[in-house]
Structure 1
């Protein structure tokens, strides 16, 4: 069985977050969604669970971070091309997300940008030339000169 990932994110406005994630290419899975949570599927293996703060608090006793003020994680999705990276960031911007909250990365064989969702989660979108990736760290070291 393919391993799957379920990224759980606390959100302040579930409807707004569902609209945002739909706009950037995720699909809602209604079987695992209600008025407290929404499962958003990027692929058969990549799923994001949007949880209201009350729902999220059922899974942890820790306070929910204000991600507009602190960083809790950097999430990254791969893209099929440089153009696909730019297209996803453009979709995020059109849906009200912040653009490039982290530095853009362009090493020739690897290209990445980022966006911020309405709650401050930072997502990076990255494309990498697979032939260069086969070379491992040497390709990265050469690109940095």
Structure 2
């Protein structure tokens, strides 16, 4: 089984924990201290939200400020279009921002959310038929 651990820098660890729990995540106390918090999305997907200083100990590269530079876009699926909208509503209520308009491609619906540090999360729903056959084949069958 493959697990995914995404490491994100934060300028305020407590504020980040509150933000991610507002999105429905849990904080795993076994891997959380004054430097980092383990944010559990699912059994196989976790974020490690790290203070900027602690994050810097894992690399010799400059740690970018996600408010000014994009280093990665993290896309997570939701169970439906409504679930995408519900997730964004929770994130916006918790202080996040939506940096662009929703994207609706017919076979896929997505919305972007910036967390409180400017890290970009994309939440999307893809029609199961499009995931199986590819977007062109799915859209050809729908039309």
TM-score between the two structures when normalised by the length of structure 2: 0.93
Aligned match of 2:16: 17
**Displacement, 1:78?**
0.2
Match of 1:50 in 2: 49
Gaps of 5+ in 1: none
Question: RMSD of the TM alignment (CA)?
Answer: 1.8
Q: Give the Cα–Cα distance (whole angstroms) in 2 for the partners of residues 96 and 137 of structure 1.
A: 34
Q: Partner of 1:72 in structure 2?
A: 71
1:108 CA drift (Å): 1.9
Any conservation in 1 of the 2:129–2:138 contact (CA below 8 Å)? no
Offset of residue 93 of structure 1:
0.2
Q: Which runs of 4+ in 1 moved over 6 A?
A: none
Equivalences for residues 118-129 of structure 1 within 5 A: 118-129=116-127
CA spacing shift, 1:90–1:64, aligned 2, 3 Å? same
Map Cα deviations across residues 50-75 of structure 1 (whole Å, 9 max, x no partner).
10112111101212111111111110
Extract unaligned runs of 5+ from structure 2: none
Query: Which 10-residue stretch deviates more, 18-27 or 66-75?
Result: 66-75
Matched residues, number: 142
When residues 17 and 72 of structure 1 are mapped into structure 2, their CA distance, relative to the original with a 3 A threshold, is same
Compute the displacement of 1:132 (Å): 2.3
Q: Secondary structure at the match of 1:17?
A: helix
Question: For the Cα contact (< 8 Å) 1:107–1:140, is it kept in 2?
Answer: no
> Structure 1 residue 61 and structure 2 residue 60: aligned?
yes
- Equivalent residues in 2 for 1:1-145, closer than 5 Å: 2-99=1-98, 101-139=99-137
